[in-house]
A and B are shown apart, each in its own frame.
Chain A
Amino acid sequence: MDDSKDHLLPYARRADFQVGRATELTGRDRRLYRLLEIFPGAFSWLTLIGVVLASIYAPFFAAYFIIAFAMYWLLKTAFLSWHLRYNWKRMRHHMKVDWATMIERFSFDHIHHVIILPFYNEPEDIIRSTLESLAAVKYDKKSIIIVLAAEARAGEAAQAVAAKMKDAFGHQFGTFLITTHPADIVGEVAGKGSNAAWAAEEVRTKVLDPHGILYNHTLVSIFDIDTVVYPDYFNCLIWHFMTADRPLKSSFQPVPVFNNNIWDAPALARVVAMSSTFWEMIQQERPERMATFSSHSVSFQALYEVGYWQQNMVSEDSRIYWNLLLANDGQYDVIPLSYPVSMDANAAPTLWGTIKNIYRQHQRWTYGVENFSYILFHFSKNTKIPRRQKIKIAFQQAEGYWSLVTNPIMLFILGWAPIFLGTQEFHQTVLSYNLPIMVRDLLFLAMFGLVVSSIISLSMIPPRPEHRSRFRYIVMALQWILVPATMIVFSAIPGLHSQTRLMLGRYMGFWVTPKSRDVRPVSTAFNGV
């Protein structure tokens, strides 16, 4: 790695810029950071315990709070459903747009695309389908540099797969580079971030610099290894890059549609996968709240100026956005592409295996709460970021992590607490009897959001394989009744688990989601057009 800090933006030169956890700091900074690590978990626990205590000692207050909360949930559902439906329409529209024609007016021959594909021990078929989709894009593939980023700790098998892929696809792209991230580098958390950072430096020194490719003429797309791109992805990316207000100070976020293996995944996995997709679709319509997630694109220049992805933490996909925002003193955007990339739903060969994998994947995702302490810590340090922006982001982040964990539990479990825990005095009241009726009715109305989800999800599944019955369409429509359970089991509980670990200083390592797929779709996966 390049140890010089000259290329970094001024704020990124700070020793604590890529801090991963409180233990990496000393003195007052360490205490502050630790406090910020404790805050989300403590606040969530206080809320949940507070609802229980209020139900016991102040059941009337708790009942009114729950009614207000159910109403808030109903309106929030309606508000988000509106965003979802709009983005669905926009994504369908974007799928129909002839992007090649759209970008004809731009001169973009000088732009190079670096595609970083970090992998560990995923099956060869998964990697092959990803590369097949890249080979099928409607774009000049000679300007595409594929970086297949292997892990040394994955051993010879990974090297063999990488070599095989290079043999099969190397000739179709401008460059096909295999990098190997060494095992056990001191200070690193083994995972995607450290591998990707290693690969980025490798491509800089081995491809960009030797060929004189300018960093500001290079767009990096970091894709999870199961990412299947659609033919117009790079045309769409170029259009957004060329029309962006500050293209070198922007990240470009496609919609990750977890539908590659949707026909083979169990209902639980489908609901969770599509819920994640829907959340990203909603975020696409409110970019000021977005951080990068999973597969996305960004200029090499921007990455180089912050020292690539952090190597010492788990949620590198969102952390890179916060690195960029802070290093650029708040002058950095995420631009939603409203264009899909297909990825795998989390499905294991057995249902129990699927449940365990989804839980662990979501625990990893929700461990993104580690960004909260990072953001607030650096907000206290970077005085160039407008205070208004800091307050807004801090509130959005706090609300986001808090609601992720507490809302489902409060609605579906604690909502009934005053009825079971309340005093005898409360139990005799009309309020006590009306509470469950009112909450039930409000939640029932909120179920309309699930109907919207059901309709949209059916339009986003790949064509039915022959070995799957038509009956499964009905199951796929009805599977959304599982949402209350999945919200608690795969969102709130892993979220609380993550926040608690961070709160207690039991930091998490990276966990690679096992990929399992029976049928390999390529670029025809999205049925939305």
Chain B
Amino acid sequence: MAINTQALMAQLLVGLINGSFYALLSLGLAVIFGMLNIINFAHGALYMLGAFCAYFLLNIFGIGYWWALILAPLAVGLVGIVIERTMLQWLSGLDHLYGLLLTFGLVLIIQGIFLAYFGSSGLPYDIPDLLKGGTNLGFMFLPTYRAWVVVFSLAVCLATWFLIEKTRLGAYLRAATENPTLVRAFGINVPLMITLTYGLGVALAGLAGVLSAPINQVRPLMGADLIIVVFAVVVIGGMGSIMGSIVTGFMLGILEGLTKYFYPEASNTVVFIFMVLVLLIKPTGLTGRAA
């Protein structure tokens, strides 16, 4: 079979971009799960909220992409903090499954409101001027914006990894994950840390939403199908390690890109099939500790 390098590379790039979103979202899920013991079903809806924030900023206030990159995650993080303080904190001590059920309810509410106002069609969001165009690398054409998404996501992922694994704040966080009571005894405000962790986790989802707005259009249901793939990514990678989430996210994006080229019929399902294989061979996930 002759390989068309142009097309293969284009699909690999699409895979890398999807991988960036998988990594950003599964990273946030893992951080939240570590502290709150909750699987945040609302992650996809908050990703969508990030994209809509960017859209509103541009179309109502005339604030462009670069400010949106900062303001939208802040706004989504703030929404997350409100959700944690008003709802999720009351669930501590209950079965983990209640967190999943509550955040599923939030998905229906957030998505329903946006569907009622905007319908299911997509709203356009322009690529910022600075990142328009592309470069011809000889073997492929590289659109600047797409390259930016991959590089920037990778940088954010690594910064989050650094924050959690290498800083003092991260050390408190990891300690509080292991034994919250003991960390509280040292005078550290654990409930505040939990709230901020949830805020940070969903802010990452909001950031992914802004990044995806110029590529995927802004739609109320943009997060709905994505979050299920991200769940599969989390099952494959396990939620024990931050680096594991990042690597698994990018790896599965690439796997999906390759499938789009070699066997497009399976491109929607390849991540799920890979999940089944991993569960059959190594049930604890590729990097994960047992849950």
| Binding between chains A and B | no
